[in-house]
Structures are given as C-alpha cells and as structure tokens.
Structure 1
C-alpha cells in the first residue's frame, strides 16, 4: 500500500497561500519549497504541494477550473478533537479564508471546513465513534 500522500493544488499567489497556511499553524518542508512550489506539511507522511499556477500547468494538459466556482474534489483531514476542528476553521476565517457552511454534527462525527484563498475546499473532521448500524 501507499506510504505517503501528496495533494497538488495550483495557487494564483503562492506567497499569499503560504502565509495563509502559516497563519493556521502549518509549516513547510524547506527541501521542497521554492518560488514555484511549497510542500505544506499536514502530518506524518501527509503533504499538500501548493504550486504556482504557471508551474502547475507544466504537469497537465488539462485546463484548470476555478475552485471558487467549481468543485472537482476536496481535501478532508482528521482532527484530534472538535476543538481542533473549530480552532482551525476560526484561524482560516481570520486569515482570509471563506467558510462555506455551518458545522455538521452527526454524533459520532463532527465536521466543519473552509476554503483557502484560491477556493480549494478543506474539510476537517473529528471521529468520536462509529456510525449507528443501518
């Protein structure tokens, strides 16, 4: 099975995107960070590569959609607690992120999310149990 994950996200303003995620408390791996891309450390072996849009275009022949108006997917991260979910959403809001919906509480799972400066959707969840049997 896989040992690491790298989610690649194009960014219109890489320095602004880096500052946004630093405001949320995240760090970058300097070995894989330069003016074209930044390796955002999300956890052990979990990374998002924030790529300057012109550089990101060198990896695909497909057109990019505007994540502020279209969804092709989203990043979902687990959190240790409901408080961690709420704290990260509050930090995202304070750093200029958009909060597209209210928190969702399913009893066994609590989730909330934000959109970063480019409109990429980040969902945060805390699992406190298992879903009820169907």
Structure 2
C-alpha cells in the first residue's frame, strides 16, 4: 500500500467548507463522509478530512486554535499549469474562499497564489515547471 497523507481540519460550517474544497478540485469520498465529516480526496494518496469541531474533539483534547488569527500550518496544493492556478483560485473564491491573503509568488519556474477557506486555513495553489522538478537530462 502506498503512503498516504490525510490533513485533518476542524471546521465551523461543514457544508460551506465541503463546497470550497470540492471547488479546489477535490472529490467527496462518501465512505468516510457524513453529518460530522467530509472526506475530500485530491489524489489516491492525498486527502483532507473536514471535521466539525465536536467530531474533531474526539481525536484530541487540545483546544482548537483560530486559523483566522494565528498561522498554524502552511499547506500547498499543486495544479497542472500556471493557468490552472488562476482557474482553481477563481473556483475557490466563487465557493466562498478569500483570494490572495498572501502575495502571489512568481519565480518563473514556479507560480503560486493562495486562498483562505471559511475557517482561515490558507492553501497555496501552486504550479511548478516539470523540467524544474526533474532537472535537465544532463543533471538528472
């Protein structure tokens, strides 16, 4: 079985958050979704679990922080092209996200913008030139 990652996020409004994460390009996995959680899959190995505050509290006794006030994590989601960065961001904003809480970054080989979800979690939507990832044939 390949390694997988699940980002677990406490959310105030499960329906609103689910709508935004679907707009970011995820798909709902109904097997692990219900009244208290939504399982949003971005690939076979990357998932985001959106959990109501009450359900999140089952897994930890620590208080839930306020992502609108404090930076808690840096999250990035890759897309297939520079244009897809803007298109993904536009869909997320139409679904209730706030565009560009952090400045866009353009390094030529890498381009990113960010969107804030209803709970304050900021996702960087990023594209990187595949040649920059793989290196050139002479250096790969």
Q: TM-score w.r.t. structure 2 length?
A: 0.85
> Which structure 2 residues correspond to residues 1-134 of structure 1 after superposition, within 5 A?
3-99=3-99, 100-128=101-129, 129-130=131-132
The count of aligned residue pairs is 131
- Following superposition, the deviation at residue 22 of structure 1 comes to 3.0
- Following superposition, the deviation at residue 48 of structure 1 comes to 0.2
Q: TM-score w.r.t. structure 1 length?
A: 0.89
Distance 1:7 1:25 in 2: 15
Q: Mind listing any 5+ residue stretches in structure 2 that lack a counterpart?
A: 134-140
Deviations 1:92-116 (A, max 9, x none): 1122211203321011111111011
Distance 2:52 2:118 in 1: 13
Does structure 1 retain, via aligned residues, the 8 Å contact 2:78–2:127?
yes
Q: Mind listing any 5+ residue stretches in structure 1 that lack a counterpart?
A: none
2:138 paired residue number: none
Deviations 1:38-70 (A, max 9, x none): 100111211000001111011112111111111
Question: What is the DSSP-based 3-state SS (H/G/I as helix, E as strand, rest coil) of the residue aligned with 1:72?
Answer: coil
2:136 paired residue number: none
